[in-house]
Amino acid sequence: MNKSVNKVVGGTALCFGLFCQSLLAAVAEYQVQLKDHLFFPSQITIPANQKVKLVIHNQDDTPEEFDSFSLNRDKVIFANNKATIFIGPLQPGEYDFFGEYNPNTARGTVIVEHQKQKAADAN
Amino acid sequence: MKTFFRISGALLYCLFSISISWADGIQVDKVYHPYVLANERELEWRLTSRQNDDGNVLAQRFAYGHAVSEYWTIEGYIVGERDDTGDFGLQAYEIEVRWMLTDQGELWADWGMLFELEKQHKEDTFEFTSGLLFEKEFTRTSLTINALLVYEWGTNIQNEFETEFRLKYRYRYLPALQPSIEIYTGEDFIGIGPGFMGIHRYEGQKQLKWELAFIAGLNGDSKDHTLRFALEYEF
């Protein structure tokens, strides 16, 4: 019984630690505008293996629903409001997203790339 | 910091509930995700059929749900069951509230809470369920866990606490087909089996979700199988 309790307490402490760590970690922000049912920019390049935050500003007078199966995200963005969507860490590749209310126009892609090393940039 | 306090409270509550007792009976049912989608309304039908040495138990649930904010949703259920004489009839009513504690992807894992109150039809028997909902993404797979504390009371039953544990490990292969493994535990019951779910989208927020699972009991009965099926129309 004591062993079981210890396991539960240990597991909970581990979860709590990971939770605190994730709260403290800085997350890069990417601003996206939604206007006339179009995403600007429609291609967003982010670094691989890092969590990032998409802040989507809906400038339309109607709500939109951000949807992406590959990103595993689904979120309503109210009219003339903004919504925050956390994505990643992701492997390099392309991840499509769209607006459920205007799927023919509100479309975009998150492009995940390995970050070039600073040393390489200096050269 | 608001999120910090929400999760701290939820974890402490979960720890408290796990230390109390274990559930009797079986609860092969839906494994809840910790998410709420604003503006969403849904109609739901669930069917559970359990076959063991004592015979067959068939239960169906019909529900209507409505998200009341970005983080809260309420759902009302009518539960029907086949009784000992083979007649299918109204068994219970239930109201359920889900609370999304964190935004998806905000923290290392996603957290939510569930609260359910059920009353048996024409009987003074109640059941209150509360618990923690957890989901963690691992690339194209998702691990979902429900740790639930149930309190039953009434004039015809012994008042008692129970705990339930549900787990689903899902591969997000295609929207229409997402295979999984599901595990359920309670006192005298451990069940495991394959599950499948899928989504078919219509225009706007309209979509149809389906879930199917076949759970084999590993608790020593010579025969113990449960089939569960659910359809959800979201609009």
Q: pLDDT grade, residue A24 (50/70/90)?
A: low
Question: Is the Cβ pair B108, A75 closer than 8 Å?
Answer: no
Position B20 scores a pLDDT of: 41
Candidates B17, B108, B135, B170, partner chain A, best to mutate (most A CBs within 10 A): B108
Question: Which domains are delineated in chain B?
Answer: 2-234 (2.40.160.40)
Q: Is the pLDDT of residue B43 over 90?
A: yes
How close, in Å, is residue B41 to chain A by CA atoms? 13
**Would an 8 Å CB–CB cutoff place A30 in contact with chain B?**
no
Sign of CA dihedral B154, B11, B96, B50: negative
> Mean per-residue pLDDT for B58-76?
95
Q: pLDDT grade, residue B111 (50/70/90)?
A: very high
Question: Is the Cβ pair B18, A86 closer than 8 Å?
Answer: no
**pTM for the whole structure:** 0.84
Position B18 scores a pLDDT of: 46
> Mean per-residue pLDDT for B95-113?
97
SS3 of B142-197 = EEEEEEEEEEEEECCCCCEEEEEEEEEEEECCECCEEEEEEEEEECCEEEEEEEEE
Pair B182, B176: CB distance under 8 Å: no
SS3 of A90-114 = CCCEEEEEEECCCCCCCEEEEEEEC
State ipTM. Answer: 0.82
Residue of chain A minimizing CA distance to B12: A12
Question: Which domains are delineated in chain A?
Answer: 27-116 (2.60.40.420)
Place of tokens 């007649």: B87
How close, in Å, is residue B124 to chain A by CA atoms? 35
How close, in Å, is residue B148 to chain A by CA atoms? 15
